[in-house]
Amino acid sequence: MDLVIATKNRNKLEEIRQILAETGLKVMGTTDIQSLPDVVEDGLSFEENARKKALTIAKLTGRLTLADDSGLVVDALNGRPGVLSARYSGENATPAENNRKLLDELKDVPMKKRTARFVCVMALARPSGKVSVVEGRAEGIITSELRGGEGFGYDPLFLVPEKGKTFAEMAPAEKNRISHRAIALQKAAEVLGAVARQEKS
């Protein structure tokens, strides 16, 4: 059975392909399929965006489709930047600008109140319209200065207390064991395994 991953990001696609290797599904990205539109992420929640992307592509391709949406949720900012994580300091914001804005908004907030989490929601849509949703979370604290050179986005500000390191101070393999995306993907793999078994029987 084919599975479309609603992403144009090659790294995400490869990571997903590896984790799903044992399901026997044939995994393809949206760039492998001609003339698919970009789905606008205008939802108010990660789930809304993930569902919209998965359903749109599943209907257009007639194939099982997995889509994700993720971002950073900061408690002291009432959940911001949330679904606006990529565009926190403006439409074409760079990660450096977003990190600067986050530090600025938290400048008067003491360490113990700087709790935050990365959230990743994955939606699996069948062409029939049935959707399953799973979620992964990684808990942490927003540091007061940038630390580390690995990763991307908010990684240099996201401290994982049990490890004493930010995501950007971890080797990619270490982050990929505990990240919100890895946790969501493990859960999605379980759902997909069940769907693949059902198809075979």
186 SS3 class: helix
Q: Are 142 and 102 in contact (CB under 8 A)?
A: yes
Nearer to ligand IMP, 150 or 193 (CB): 150
Catalytic-role residue among 32, 69, 104, 155: 69
Give how far the C-alpha of residue 94 lies from the chain's centroid of Cα atoms, to the nearest Å.
Answer: 18
Q: Which of 5, 53, 136, 154 binds ligand IMP (CB under 6 A)?
A: 154
Provide the pairing of β-strand 165-166 with 158-160. antiparallel
Site for ligand IMP in 63-102 (CB under 6 A): 69-72, 85-86
Site for ligand IMP in 50-69 (CB under 6 A): 69
Tell the smallest beta-carbon distance from residue 3 to ligand IMP (Å): 18
**Is 69 annotated in the active site?**
yes
- Contact between 152 and ligand IMP by CB under 6 A: the answer reads yes
CA-to-CA separations, 163 to 111, 157, 170, 179, in angstroms, rounded: 17, 14, 9, 13
Please tell me the distance from the alpha carbon of residue 172 to that of residue 116, in angstroms, as a whole number.
20
- Contact between 143 and ligand IMP by CB under 6 A: the answer reads no
* Residues labelled as active-site residues: 69
